[in-house]
């Protein structure tokens, strides 16, 4: 496998703070970084500034998609079955991949924890395919073929490969002792400043996996067509459904975002978008 530091790289994350999972990789590769939302969550308080500070310190380049959307707006689009926003996000990412000759994209992984995380992987997957189609159709291109690699990062699960598993190919980033120390400090500082659920998530991650689990970073190769991770939610309910049901019962939320009713139709719409753009490119 080629090094994940070769060529031009792009990191696409659903929320500010996700960059902490690949803190060492970002400092090593200095990718372009796109962030779908401002991280404002249900309380409406953005947390973008802290992430931008971290990214600037690590030498990353801020991309053209940078926290323009509130979580509330994207959740409303999901609940209303309005796909225009996702079309726009996907097309902007595809144009960026083409314009910057990106050959490696790292994104949030589909884990069923948060619909924005899951849609982030789906959006990136689609944008890469659209970029490939555009490249194949453009006979005037003299640059290298568009062979973009797509890796994902777990945000809630164990950041390490399962012991003895035949999990998808992955790239490992070894952190120096100094970089590991800086990463832990950044995670704790970010959690304290963000408070609320993010502080709980960082504490839970340290408790469940141990600090040493974050001494290496793993980029997992995205699943091949037909093996997409969202397929498992046709048989099991994702966490965000159960969590949403609890909030509705408590009077905190009005509606529940459901995988089959709300998220899967967007994924299918994006999948169709790839075939449509391919047909258009073929004339």
Interatomic CA distance for residues 231 and 224, integer angstroms: 12
200 CB-contact burial (10 Å; exposed 0-12 / middle 13-18 / buried 19+): exposed
250 CB-contact burial (10 Å; exposed 0-12 / middle 13-18 / buried 19+): exposed
The domain 8-277 belongs to what CATH superfamily?
A: LmbE-like (3.40.50.10320)
For residue 151, list its beta bridge partners.
106, 221
Provide the pLDDT for residue 274: 81
Predicted confidence pLDDT, tens digits, the chain (283 residues) = 445 545 799 999 999 999 999 999 999 999 999 999 999 987 778 999 999 999 999 999 999 999 999 999 999 999 999 999 999 999 999 999 999 999 999 999 999 999 999 999 999 999 999 998 887 666 555 555 568 999 999 999 999 998 655 555 689 999 999 999 999 999 999 999 988 788 899 999 999 999 999 999 999 999 988 899 999 998 899 999 999 999 999 998 899 999 999 999 999 999 998 876 655 655 5
Interatomic CA distance for residues 101 and 9, integer angstroms: 9
For residue 9, list its beta bridge partners.
104
Provide the pLDDT for residue 146: 61
Is residue 240 helix, strand or coil? helix
Q: What is the CA radius of gyration of the chain?
A: 18
What residue segments make up the domains of the chain, in order of their start?
8-277
Interatomic CA distance for residues 232 and 230, integer angstroms: 5
Buried b (16+ CB within 10 A) or exposed e, 22-43: bbbbbbbbebbbbbbbbbbbee
- Residues with Cβ < 8 Å from 276, sequence gap 6 or more? none
Are 10 and 32 spatial neighbours (Cβ–Cβ below 8 Å)? Answer: yes
Interatomic CA distance for residues 215 and 200, integer angstroms: 20
Q: What are residue 206's phi and psi, to 5 degrees? A: -65, -40
100 CB-contact burial (10 Å; exposed 0-12 / middle 13-18 / buried 19+): middle
Neighbouring CB atoms inside 10 A of 247's CB total: 15
pTM for this one? Answer: 0.92
Provide the pLDDT for residue 196: 77
Provide the pLDDT for residue 1: 45
Interatomic CA distance for residues 151 and 105, integer angstroms: 6
- Tokens 């408590």 sit on residue: 250
Provide the pLDDT for residue 99: 94
């Amino acid at each position: 496998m080629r090094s994940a530091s070769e060529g031009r790289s792009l990191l696409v994350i659903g929320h500010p703070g996700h960059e902490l999972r690949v803190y060492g990789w970002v400092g090593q590769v200095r990718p372009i970084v796109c962030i779908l939302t401002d991280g404002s969550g249900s309380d409406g308080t953005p947390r973008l500034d802290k992430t931008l500070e971290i990214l600037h310190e690590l030498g990353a380049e801020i991309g053209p998609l940078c926290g323009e959307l509130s979580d509330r707006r994207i959740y409303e689009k999901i609940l209303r079955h309005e796909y225009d926003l996702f079309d726009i996000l996907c097309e902007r990412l595809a144009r960026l991949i083409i314009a910057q000759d990106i050959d490696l994209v790292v994104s949030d992984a589909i884990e069923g924890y948060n619909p924005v995380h899951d849609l982030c992987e789906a959006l990136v997957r689609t944008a890469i395919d659209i970029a490939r189609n555009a490249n194949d159709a453009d006979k005037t291109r003299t640059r290298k073929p568009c062979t973009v690699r797509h890796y994902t990062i777990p945000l809630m699960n164990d950041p390490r490969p399962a012991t003895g598993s035949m999990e998808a190919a992955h790239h490992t980033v070894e952190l120096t002792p100094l970089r590991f120390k800086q990463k832990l400090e950044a995670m704790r500082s970010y959690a304290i400043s963000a408070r609320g659920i993010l502080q709980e998530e960082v504490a839970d991650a340290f408790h469940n996996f141990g600090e040493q689990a974050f001494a290496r970073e793993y980029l997992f190769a995205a699943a091949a067509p037909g093996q997409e991770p969202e397929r498992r939610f046709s048989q099991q309910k994702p966490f965000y459904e159960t969590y949403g049901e609890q909030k509705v019962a408590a009077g905190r939320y009005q509606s529940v975002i459901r995988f089959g009713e709300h998220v899967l139709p967007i994924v299918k719409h994006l999948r169709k978008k790839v075939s449509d753009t391919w047909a258009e490119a073929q004339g």
